[in-house]
Amino acid sequence: MATINDNYLKLKAGYLFPEIGRRVNAFAQANPDAKLIKLGIGDVTEPLPEACRTAMIKAVEEMGDRASFKGYGPEQGYTWLLEKIAAQDFQARGCEVDASEIFTSDGSKCDTGNILDIFGNNNIIAVTDPVYPVYVDTNVMAGNTGSANDKGEFEGLVYLPITAENNFTAEIPSQKVDLIYLCFPNNPTGAVATKEHLKAWVDYARAHGSIIFFDAAYEAYITDAELPHSIYEIEGARECAIEFRSFSKNAGFTGTRCAFTVVPKNLTAKAADGSDVELWKLWNRRQSTKFNGVSYIVQRGAEAVYSQEGQAQIKELISFYLENAEIIREKLTAAGLAVYGGVNAPYVWVQTPNGLSSWDFFDKLLHTCNVVGTPGSGFGAAGEGYFRISAFNSRENVEEAMKRITDRFTS
Ligand X SMILES: *Cc1c(COP(=O)(O)O)cnc(C)c1O
- Tell me which residues touch ligand X (CB under 6 A): 42, 107-109, 132, 183, 187, 215, 217, 246, 248-249, 254, 259
Nearer to ligand X, 127 or 259 (CB): 259
Cβ-based nearer residue to ligand X, 187 or 210: 187
Specify the residue, 168 or 409, whose C-beta has the smaller distance to ligand X: 168
3-state secondary structure of 23: helix
Collapsing DSSP to helix, strand or coil, 315 comes out as helix
Residue 26 Cβ vs ligand X, minimum distance, rounded to whole Å: 27
Please identify, using beta-carbon distances, which residue of 161 and 209 lies nearer to ligand X: 161
Residue 388: CB minimum distance to ligand X, A: 11
User: Residue 284 and residue 301: Cα distance in Å, rounded?
Assistant: 23
Q: How far is the CB of 9 from ligand X (least distance, A)?
A: 25
Q: CB neighbours of 202 closer than 8 A, spacing ≥ 6? A: 212, 231, 234, 235, 236, 237, 240, 241
- In degrees rounded to 5, what are phi and psi of residue 339? -120, 145
- Name the DSSP class of 379: G
CB of 270 to ligand X, least distance (A): 27
- Residue with the shortest CB distance to ligand X: 107
Which candidate, 37, 46, 112, places its Cα nearest to that of 346? 46
The CA-based angle 146-149-150, given to 5 degrees, is 160
Question: Smallest gap, in angstroms, from Cβ of residue 108 to ligand X?
Answer: 4
* Residue 344 or 370 having the CB closest to ligand X: 344
DSSP codes joined into one string, 134-200: HHHHHHHHTT-S--B-TTSPBTTEEEEE--GGGTT-PPPPSS--SEEEEESS-TTT-----HHHHHH
**Min. distance of Cβ 202 from ligand X in angstroms?**
20
Cα separation, 3 vs 9, in Å, equals: 12
Closest CB to ligand X among residues 246, 268? 246
